[in-house]
């Protein structure tokens, strides 16, 4: 996946080594429980989201009336300073790591303030996401950015990256940064080097990713 232009956020620093003790770790791809986690929502939660989606503009409401999946959520401030909101990643279907660029509609971020939908923010349509994994105010503007995970599997190799999205004006969300290869598992690579690396992502005045070597099973 190609890196996106950084807009208003300091460039991530990707390095190999020990994570500074002062860093606030947001995501840790060394954690197997986090790595294998998958979003789950009850029937009641899905019904509440379905009702919220019917309040979207007609084109969006009609599209998701035919079905949708919720691929993660986070609590934070997204549309205006000091607002207490919850954001959901909505897609037509769950992403397939073997085919991360399917011919389907653009993912959408649904912003809820209590029981009321206050934002229907379409993401670029050239990728589908595995899940929404976190939210944090990276650039210090009082509004949180959203962290969206992609995964690609090919020839015994799994590569995960994270897009950072910011809520924009006019019903769209823009990708302001991409952290490439936050997790790479090439332990089953039939022809190339067998390796595994996992990164931590932290916010310490700027967004940082640090990569760690992990052992392959013997």
* pLDDT tens sequence across 39-81: 999 999 999 999 999 999 999 999 999 999 999 999 999 998 8
Does residue 190 lie within any of the structural domains? yes
C-alpha–C-alpha distance, residues 79 and 40, integer Å: 25
C-alpha–C-alpha distance, residues 3 and 178, integer Å: 5
The reported pLDDT for the residue numbered 205 is 76
Note whether 118 and 174 are within 8 A (CB): no
Q: In this structure, are strands 13-16 and 207-214 parallel, antiparallel, or unpaired?
A: parallel
Does residue 125 lie within any of the structural domains? yes
Does residue 7 lie within any of the structural domains? no
pLDDT band at 170; cut points 50, 70, 90:
low
Does residue 8 lie within any of the structural domains? no
Tens of pLDDT, residue by residue over 13-48, are 343 343 444 568 999 999 999 999 999 999 999 999
Give me the mean pLDDT over the 138-153 stretch. Answer: 93
Res. 137: pLDDT tops 80: yes
Residue 151 tokens read as 């995964």
Tens of pLDDT, residue by residue over 92-111, are 999 988 876 667 899 999 99
The reported pLDDT for the residue numbered 96 is 86
Does residue 137 lie within any of the structural domains? yes
Does residue 151 lie within any of the structural domains? yes
C-alpha–C-alpha distance, residues 165 and 63, integer Å: 22
Q: Bigger pLDDT: 191 or 108?
A: 108
Tell me the whole-structure pTM to 2 decimals. Answer: 0.86
Coil, helix or strand at residue 90: strand
pLDDT band at 8; cut points 50, 70, 90:
very low
- Closest CA relative to residue 177, chosen from 188, 166, 190, 192: 166
Q: In this structure, are strands 131-136 and 145-154 parallel, antiparallel, or unpaired?
A: antiparallel
Q: Domain limits at 121?
A: 13-211
Does residue 218 lie within any of the structural domains? no
- How far, in whole angstroms, is CA 109 from its chain's centroid? 10
Does residue 111 lie within any of the structural domains? yes
Structural domains of the chain, count:
1
Give me the mean pLDDT over the 155-172 stretch. Answer: 87
Name the DSSP class of 99.
Answer: B
- Closest CA relative to residue 174, chosen from 80, 114, 104, 107: 107
The reported pLDDT for the residue numbered 11 is 34
């Amino acid at each position: 996946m190609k890196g996106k232009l950084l807009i208003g956020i300091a460039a991530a620093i990707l390095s190999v080594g020990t994570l500074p003790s002062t860093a606030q770790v947001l995501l840790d791809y060394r954690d197997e429980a986090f790595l294998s986690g998958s979003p789950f929502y009850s029937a009641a939660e899905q019904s509440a989201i379905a009702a919220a989606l019917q309040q979207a503009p007609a084109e969006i409401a009609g599209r998701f009336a035919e079905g949708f999946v919720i691929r993660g959520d986070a609590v934070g401030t997204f549309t205006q300073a000091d607002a207490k909101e919850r954001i959901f990643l909505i897609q037509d279907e769950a992403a397939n790591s073997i085919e991360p660029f399917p011919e389907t509609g653009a993912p959408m971020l649904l912003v809820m303030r209590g029981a009321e939908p206050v934002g229907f923010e379409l993401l670029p349509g050239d990728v589908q996401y595995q899940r929404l994994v976190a939210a944090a105010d990276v650039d210090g503007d009082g509004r949180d950015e959203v962290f969206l995970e992609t995964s690609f599997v090919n020839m015994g190799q799994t590569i995960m990256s994270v897009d950072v999205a910011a809520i924009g004006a006019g019903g769209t969300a823009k990708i302001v940064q991409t952290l490439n290869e936050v997790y790479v598992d090439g332990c089953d690579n039939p022809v190339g080097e067998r390796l595994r690396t996992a990164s931590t992502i932290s916010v310490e005045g700027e967004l940082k990713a640090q990569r760690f070597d992990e052992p392959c099973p013997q």
